[in-house]
Amino acid sequence: MVWETSPALASASLGLRLLASFQPVAMLWVAKLIIDRVVTAVVSKSAAPEDLWPLVGLEVGLAIGGDLVLRAVNLCESLLGDRFANHVSLRLMRHAGKLDLAHFEDPVFYDKLERARKQTTSRLSMLTQLAGLAQSGITLLSVSLAVATFSGWFLVLLAAALLPVFWGETRFAMLAYSLLYRWTPERRELDYLRMLGASLNTAKEVKIFGIGDFLLDRSQTLFERFFTENRRLVIRKAITGSLLNLLPTCGYYGAYAYILYRTIGGDLSVGDLTFLSGAFVRSRGSMENVFAGLSNVSEQALYIQDLFDFFATESRLENRPHPIPAPRPIRDGFEFRGVSFAYPGRPRPVLNDVSFRLETGQKIALIGENGAGKTTIVKLLARLYDPTGGQILLDGVDLRDYSAPDLRREIGVIFQDYVRFDMVARENIGLGLVDRIEDEARIREAAGKSLADAVIDGLPNGYDQMLGRRFSGGSDLSAGQWQKIALGRAYMRDAQLVILDEPTASLDARAEFEVFERFAELTRGKMAVLISHRFSTVRMADRILVLENGRIVEQGAHGELVRLGGRYAELFALQAAGYR
């Protein structure tokens, strides 16, 4: 993935790191040669040897070159890190776009997405750590080979001292990840509570109902539970780490004493002493960097695994090898044949053996109490889910045989929980048909159909006005005004099927009348599905389906159902009584 981000920057970074990895041993060796020549000149009381000053110049050049290489490495990796962060974010968005609605309604999936998004993007330092690990490894190898020419015992002392440290760091990295993994749902709840306590969308109710202290107490309780468990782990790590770190310190000074002993005995020169002392310090530092790097990379790899687990998540919709395009025009319409459906992870079905037809040019209305299955039927029509039993046909062909994206292009829908995009007005409507988002005439036409044109004309910058409060200069709208904007998105496409799920819930009586008068006109000759609790709205449908406990208990025109005296007539009478 790093290579895909930028082969040039990745190559430059690795090449410079390789060059930098040999600089320490070169510096130590040149310093040894300089000291040996100076000691020889002092002891023999002779002039400085001819090659002394070139060696000094070489050491200065190595020092300056090392600094320049390090700065070049930092530059490359900073640019590479920025590009990689964007690369991963775009890939996350692209993959999320391929997944089903079922994934986004699954808390377990949300936990996985949360870890992939937050933990991975916050650990981009892994790139630098991996490169630094390789550099430290090469430096350690080159210095160790030089040290080994004097005595192999130095390497044995270093390895014996530092391996336990590596084990301790790796173990606690695993434990820390395990703790965060187990607490993902609680930390997500904590983020949610913090958002509730400090958000424009919630501020009014938080103040009116006085729930600020409740949110604070609940957040504090969650935090204290997590903090208590994390504190135990951190204290254990601190104590164990302190004890294990005694080993490399003892190993270093043991080896240092051995170097001094051999130098005093005449086995090593002063230059050798300087080289070995410096090499030992460098070896110890490099080995610590390698082990710490391995420990850190191991921890990062655990979080990176969350990213790959997310990318490995596949669509649950059944995809045919060779899907066919949606028919245009639709000739016969949709048919539900004994359709049943249960949401993933919920054994109780939402729909039970539902059968009905939606013919071309027909308008149907779905009514029933909350949870009766109305919105679920809409989701199945748009193939956001596949039925768990039965079939849905379009022009006599199973819906699963069609290309899902192509099918959805033939459907215009506005849900009751429509999105309020913090974008300019034209984009808010143009997103309904993103391929034509620059088509000014089409956007204005859609706004006129949904009655959003009057709303937009009243804004300071018209169609270029930023909506929402997220960005500077934005204008917030009333719920009814937002709903007209959302309706405009549905009208952006020349859909063969128009679905309105509680489209007038936020509109006043006059606006509701205008919207439905326009809706009846605009859907003439098209299929339409309407969900509403208002009988003044649903009576305009050609056929009304009454749902109860996931089943169709009655269907027919308004007059027929009233004369039938069943469930529809009962609900109609109850609502009518409220207006007397």
All domains in the chain, ordered by first residue: 2-312 (1.20.1560.10), 358-577 (3.40.50.300)
What pLDDT is recorded for position 556?
A: 92
Q: Which residue has the higher pLDDT, 83 or 258?
A: 83
Supply the pLDDT for residue 49: 80
The whole-number average pLDDT for the span 547-569 is 90
Please tell me the distance from the alpha carbon of residue 469 to that of residue 65, in angstroms, as a whole number: 52
Query: In the structure, what pLDDT confidence band is assigned to residue 461 with cuts at 50, 70 and 90?
Result: very high
Confidence label for 124 from pLDDT (cuts 50, 70 and 90):
low
Band the pLDDT of 78: cuts 50, 70, 90.
confident
Residue 542 · residue 549 · CB < 8 Å: no
Strand partners, 499: 413, 529
Q: Using pLDDT thresholds of 50, 70 and 90, give the confidence band for residue 509.
A: low
- Segment 553-571 shows an average pLDDT of 89
- The Cα angle at residue 371 between residues 569 and 482, in degrees rounded to 5: 95
pLDDT band at residue 353 using 50, 70 and 90 as cut-offs = very high
The closest of 28, 45, 295, 73 to 171, measured between CA atoms, is: 295
* Sign for the pseudo-dihedral over CA of 290, 296, 302, 304: negative
Q: What is the pLDDT of residues 279-295, one digit of tens each?
A: 777 776 777 677 667 66
pLDDT of residue 580: 57
pLDDT at 333: 93
Top-confidence residue, 299 or 88: 88
Burial class from Cβ neighbours inside 10 Å (0-12, 13-18, 19+) for residue 410 reads: buried
* Number of separate helices (H) and strands (E) present in the chain: 24, 10
CA atoms of 34 and 430, how far apart (whole Å): 74
CA atoms within 13 A on the CB side of 543: 16
pLDDT classification of 371: cutoffs 50, 70, 90: confident
Q: What percent of the chain has pLDDT over 70?
A: 87
pLDDT of residue 205: 65
Residue 53 reports pLDDT greater than 70: yes
Break the chain down into helix, strand, coil percent, rounded to 5: 65, 10, 25
Cβ-based neighbour number of residue 525 at 10 Å: 8
The two structure tokens encoding residue 452:
């959003």
What number is the average pLDDT over the span 355-384? 90
Who wins on pLDDT, 154 or 569? 569
Is-contact 353 378, C-beta < 8 A?
no
pLDDT band of residue 444 (cuts 50, 70, 90) is very high
Q: Are strands 363-367 and 527-531 parallel, antiparallel or unpaired?
A: parallel
pLDDT above 60 for 14: yes
Four-point Cα dihedral 196, 199, 201, 207, nearest 10: 70
Q: Which helix (H) or strand (E) holds 528?
A: strand 527-531
**What is the pLDDT at residue 123?**
57
Q: Which pLDDT score is estimated for 126?
A: 73
- Per the CB < 8 A criterion, the answer to whether 398 and 380 are in contact is no
pLDDT of residue 357: 94
Among 318, 389, 325, residue whose Cα is nearest residue 353: 389
As a whole number of angstroms, the distance between CA 349 and CA 373 comes to: 10
pLDDT band for 447, please (50, 70, 90 cuts). very high
pLDDT at residue 36 above 80? yes
pLDDT at 418: 77
Confidence at 155, pLDDT banded by 50, 70, 90: low
Query: Are the beta carbons of 462 and 456 closer than 8 angstroms?
Result: yes
User: Following CA atoms 490, 492, 496, 501 in sequence, which dihedral angle do they give, to the nearest 10 degrees?
Assistant: 0
The residue-averaged pLDDT of 495-512 equals 74
> Residue 317: its pLDDT value, please?
78
Structure tokens at 354: 């539902």
pLDDT mean across residues, the chain: 82
Long-range contacts of 393-397 (CB under 8 A, 24+ apart): 393/334, 393/335, 393/337, 394/326, 394/327, 394/330, 394/333, 394/334, 394/335, 395/327, 395/330, 395/331, 395/332, 395/333, 396/332, 396/335, 397/324
Highest mean pLDDT, choosing among 256-270, 296-310, 424-438: 424-438
- Burial environment of residue 456 by CB neighbours within 10 A (0 to 12, 13 to 18, 19 or more): buried
pLDDT beyond 70 at 199: no
Crossing angle between the packed helical segments 52-98 and 125-148, to the nearest 10 degrees: 150
Spatial CA neighbour of 54 closest among 37, 42, 69:
37
